Amino acid sequence: MNLNQLTLAQAKEGLAQKKFSSSELVSACLDQIKKTEPQLNSFVTVFEKEALDQAKNADLSKPLGGIPLAVKDNFLTQGQRTTASSKVLDQYLAHYDATTIERLKSAGAIIIGKTNMDAWAHGSSTETSDYGSTKNPWNINHLPGGSSGGSAAAIAADQAIISVGSETAGSIRQPASWCGVVGFKPSYGRVSRYGVIAMKSSTDSPGPICKTVDDAATLLEIMSGADHHDATSISEASWVRPVKLASLQGLKIGLPLSYFPPQIQPEVKSSILAAVETLKKLGAEIIELPDVLDPKYSIAVYTILQRSEVSSNLARFDGIRYGHDRSFFGQEAKRRIMLGTYSLSSGYYDAYYTKAQKVRTLICQDFDRQFQKVDAIIGPVSPSTALPIGASEGQAMFGEIQDMLVEPSSIAGLPGISIPCGFDQNNLPVGLQIITPQKREDLVYQIAKLFEDNTEYHLQRPKL
């Protein structure tokens, strides 16, 4: 096995036992980037010299000492190019580190590069990037998902050992599903948003994208915790990974029937139902939930609220501060700004924005009601496996449709994870999502870890 193919746990063990150095580990990832970037386009910027320099002096006593990290390009990294994959910020150098980056750096991680994404995180394909689409490592004619498509592709292609992304509607779990890796979306506020270029501030959630559940849990422990810079951050102590469960005996896991919409790809449905059988064998009681609010309602709610917040958040980006004026916005950003401004305008605010907020409350209340019956909820992450390149073109609602099964839990601020659970006939990965009540990342981890330990889907890698 090449060093770049190691999991975080394996890399930490190898470094501790002096089987290889941090410089060798970083070099292996950089070599893989050089080899595969012409095909994949996972990165906007690679920090080769900086990463190699840091590797020479890596402090291996730290939790992530000497480990190469890929960072979604909407996280500010001090003195380094940060673009959010938009030409508006093409030459922008961040003045400070995002809280998440500060914590990861303090833990010893080495940022190897900034990954490609949908511009401003607007999309679920990474096709709206001003720097070209990222390709899926399992099949370069297919999309990696988005908006954290570069981070997911980089992990699937072993270009980095660990990565971070951000989710607003599904942008950690959906690309993780399409790229066959693990994406752990925490409760809203568990990880600070400070220094992450805002898209929809009321649901933006930074989180890890990794090769295994344990790797993601390690990152989440380091990333989480209260932050005085972020008034929405959870004030409690950082999340700490719980002990692993021996079985799921006594746990009730809900299966929402509405999460199998008519357009679902048959192989996605069969993979999820096979995962249900695995969870049953592990001791879980599976309870069908026929009355979960149809996720189609989340599409309308998310669309109105997200566009409204975008029209506010993108208003700060002008030529005086950032070098390029608003004419550099892509078509997707312009569409979202216009729709959001319309929704917030006099005469339409109550008809659209206020009503959407009321339905959002109903979605939250529906989850509360379901969690009185079950401990966790499972289902598919996306209605399909990775779609072909170009699938999002001319589809104004592409992202909302592809994220429809993860949007409800994001709107409600719930923690969730995507883990590999199968493949379709074209060998494209299928993801299983696990959702729990707010602040119950411990249960997400325990269920996902036990499933991973008893299956081998996460061990399969794409052949590049």
Q: Give SS3 for 399.
A: helix
Confidence band (pLDDT; 50, 70, 90) for 346? confident
Q: What is the pLDDT of residues 300-340, one digit of tens each?
A: 999 999 999 999 999 989 878 888 888 899 999 999 999 89
The secondary structure of residue 269, as a DSSP letter, is H
CATH number of the domain encompassing residue 154: 3.90.1300.10
In the numeric block, the tokens 């999502």 are attached to 433
**Tokens linked to 344:** 């917030």
Q: For residue 397, is pLDDT > 70?
A: no
Is 130 among the domain residues? yes
User: Within a domain: residue 293?
Assistant: yes
The answer to whether 109 and 210 have CB atoms below 8 angstroms apart is no
Q: Which of 22, 85, 148, 171 is flagged as catalytic?
A: 171
Catalytic annotation, pick one of 22, 147, 192, 409: 147
Question: Is residue 281 pLDDT above 90, yes or no?
Answer: yes
As beta bridge partners, residue 252 has 285
Each residue of 407-434: pLDDT tens digit?
Answer: 999 999 999 999 999 999 999 999 999 9
Residue 464 lies in a domain: no
Mean pLDDT of 180-207: 97
Given a cut of 90, is residue 394 above it in pLDDT?
no
User: How high is the mean pLDDT of the chain?
Assistant: 95
- Whether residue 312 is contained in a domain is answered as yes
CA angle 51-417-414, nearest 5°?
115
308 a catalytic residue:
no
Within a domain: 365 = yes
Q: Which domain holds residue 317?
A: 3-459
Domain tally for the chain?
Answer: 1
Residue type at 430? Answer: V
Say what the pTM is.
0.97
**pLDDT tens track for 80-106:** 999 999 999 999 999 999 999 999 999
Is 171 assigned a catalytic role?
Answer: yes
Assess whether 312 carries a catalytic annotation: no
Of 12, 22, 42, 72, the active-site residue reads: 72
